[in-house]
Amino acid sequence: MRIIVDVDKCIGAGQCVTAAPTVFAQNEDDGMVIVLDEHPSEDKQAGVRSAIRLCPARVIVAED
């Protein structure tokens, strides 16, 4: 899995961080998403899928 995020469209809601805190973080200055692990291991992928579903701006995509 490879994570792609359109940071320019991120609204900083933080749902991704809640769903997968070892994969996503938020910029302290503006709250925008930071991808900590672009290629998460299999044990983190369920959290990533939750983050994709929960993102209100729909800016997270995962390629297999």
Q: What confidence score (pLDDT) does residue 11 get?
A: 97
Other Cβ atoms less than 10 A from the Cβ of 25: the count is 16
Map out the domains of the chain with their CATH numbers. Answer: 2-63 (3.30.70.20)
- Helix H segments across the chain? 15-19, 45-54
9-52 pLDDT tens trace: 999 999 999 999 999 999 999 999 999 999 999 999 999 999 99
Residue that is written with structure tokens 């996503």 in the block: 24
Residue 33 pLDDT: 97
Q: How far is CA 26 from the centre of its chain?
A: 9
